[in-house]
Structure 1
Amino acid sequence: MADPLETPPTDIQQLSTASLIDLLLGRPGVAAHLLESLGNLASLARLSPLALTERFALTHEEATRILAALQLGHRRFVEAADVTSIASCLDVVTWAQPRLGHLVHEEMHLLALSGQSHFRGARMIARGGLHALAVRTSDILRAGLELAASGFALIHNHPSGNPDPSAEDIELTLRVKEAGDQVGLLFVDHVIVTASGRFSSFVANQWATESAQK
């Protein structure tokens, strides 16, 4: 088998994940142990440089180099997921999936929209733990007003992998929708994303109807 460290650049796309990591570090044999222990790149990306050095006998420079490469790949993915307008929940998912789907804690973000549903900007509203986050209606409305939005969509992630809204998710959404109407901010949708790509939408999945039937 050819040494990945001597592989011409034109053949890089043909290399295995392990060979790419070895090429990045400049020494073979390290990546196989990393991937066998962690399973995939997502698990690798969640570790800190200190954890990598302690668990796998890497130098701090090597650990940092690996994580920097993974972060560059993630940023390329995020750049490709920019949106210019929000026409449906799928546009919300396009924006949110690469930014929130992989997180191991919950985050809620607001997407600010113009009167023509053009994307004006985004802001993180709250950061929580594995199963919940605390957010106030006033925090959401303030963000929308500060971004000069005519309308807004909410997004948060479920690290558990289950996109179904909790009773608290539905209650918050209904409360925010009503409060937005009172101050002239049009509520567009609230979408929950997960690492697997599964998602749920207040509008498309009719959370309010499901809640009323329970």
Structure 2
Amino acid sequence: MKKMTPRDKIKHFGIKSLTNEELLAVIIQTGTKEKSVYEVADCLYEKLSRLSELNELTIEELIELEGISYAKASIILASIELGKRIRAEHTKKISIDNAYDLYQFIREDIEYEKQENLIVISINIKGEIIRKDRIYIGTLNMISLSIKEVFRPIIKLNAYAMMIAHNHPSGDPKPSVQDNEFTEKIIEASKLMNIRFIDHLIIGRNQFFSYKHLKTFKV
């Protein structure tokens, strides 16, 4: 009996019936003269110790793999990004007073970034997230970063409340002295502007630090 292709499985059993390798094969679409699309997908999957590591790969790292062209690497990354954006839309009505909910909302944006990123989240008076803005990428010097830059999207959107989050590429979310000083400045400025400050999360690998709770959470 002929083995069912991923497309046949989708048709008869739905997309959830596919294995991780088969999902990758559908995205990659074609193989090479030497390898089938399934072998290319298997090679990519074997490179990962866990599926979430796919989120860490750059386009340069993807095209180093046999059978992955620039076009295919672009499709893979676009698929990942689309999934992130869909998830972000579904999580807009999270509880802003729940540190874990906030972490889940923000983690995919910055958890695996290789440089430090700072994200500002604007919140309306109903407690709904209006928007999140990535305002800094690089080696984050919290002290030199302008307070005006942080509050610009908040003021522009006339937000009632705010929270900020940044990542530690090392994976350790323990706050530094600079992180503490920067957070104090943001809290002071928010009071002056009559903007409710919710929290500052530092995102590590499968863990995060919350200034509101002054503790590290393992996830």
Query: TM-score, normalized by length of structure 1?
Result: 0.78
SS of alignment partner, residue 28 of structure 1: helix
Deviation at 1:85, TM superposition (A): 5.5
SS of alignment partner, residue 55 of structure 1: coil
Contact map agreement 1:85 1:119 (CA 8 A) in 2: no
Residue type of the alignment partner of 2:163 = A
Contact map agreement 1:5 1:28 (CA 8 A) in 2: no
The 5-angstrom pairing of residues 188-199 of structure 1 reads: 188-196=198-206, 198-199=207-208
* Runs (5+) with no aligned partner, structure 2: 31-36
State the partner residue of 1:171. Answer: 181
Deviation at 1:177, TM superposition (A): 0.9
| Cα distance between partner residues in 1 of 2:42 and 2:215 | 46
Alignment partner of 1:201 is 2:210: yes
| Cα distance between partner residues in 2 of 1:14 and 1:172 | 48
Alignment partner of 1:7 is 2:4: no
State the partner residue of 2:25. Answer: 22
| Cα distance between partner residues in 2 of 1:139 and 1:20 | 41
The 5-angstrom pairing of residues 20-59 of structure 1 reads: 20-24=23-27, 25-26=29-30, 27-49=37-59, 51-59=61-69
Identity across matched positions, percent: 25
State the partner residue of 2:82. Answer: 72
| Cα distance between partner residues in 2 of 1:119 and 1:5 | 38
State the partner residue of 2:34. Answer: none
Deviation at 1:84, TM superposition (A): 5.7
| Cα distance between partner residues in 1 of 2:169 and 2:161 | 27
Contact map agreement 1:81 1:98 (CA 8 A) in 2: no
Higher relative contact order (CA 8 A, sep 6+): 1
| Cα distance between partner residues in 2 of 1:201 and 1:67 | 30
SS of alignment partner, residue 199 of structure 2: strand
Deviation at 1:112, TM superposition (A): 2.1
Residue 49 and residue 74 in structure 1: after superposition, are their counterparts in 2 closer, same or farther (change >3 A)? same
Alignment partner of 1:95 is 2:96: no
Q: How many residues align structurally?
A: 204
Residue 194 and residue 62 in structure 1: after superposition, are their counterparts in 2 closer, same or farther (change >3 A)? same
Post-superposition Cα deviations, 1:57-108, rounded to whole Å, max 9, x if no partner, equal: 3334333333333333333333332236523323422321232223222211
Contact map agreement 1:97 1:195 (CA 8 A) in 2: no
Contact map agreement 1:190 1:202 (CA 8 A) in 2: yes
| Cα distance between partner residues in 2 of 1:122 and 1:95 | 10
The 5-angstrom pairing of residues 55-204 of structure 1 reads: 55-83=65-93, 86-129=96-139, 132-134=140-142, 135-196=145-206, 198-204=207-213
Contact map agreement 1:107 1:133 (CA 8 A) in 2: no
Residue 50 and residue 148 in structure 1: after superposition, are their counterparts in 2 closer, same or farther (change >3 A)? same
Contact map agreement 1:109 1:126 (CA 8 A) in 2: yes
Residue 14 and residue 176 in structure 1: after superposition, are their counterparts in 2 closer, same or farther (change >3 A)? same
Residue type of the alignment partner of 1:23 = V
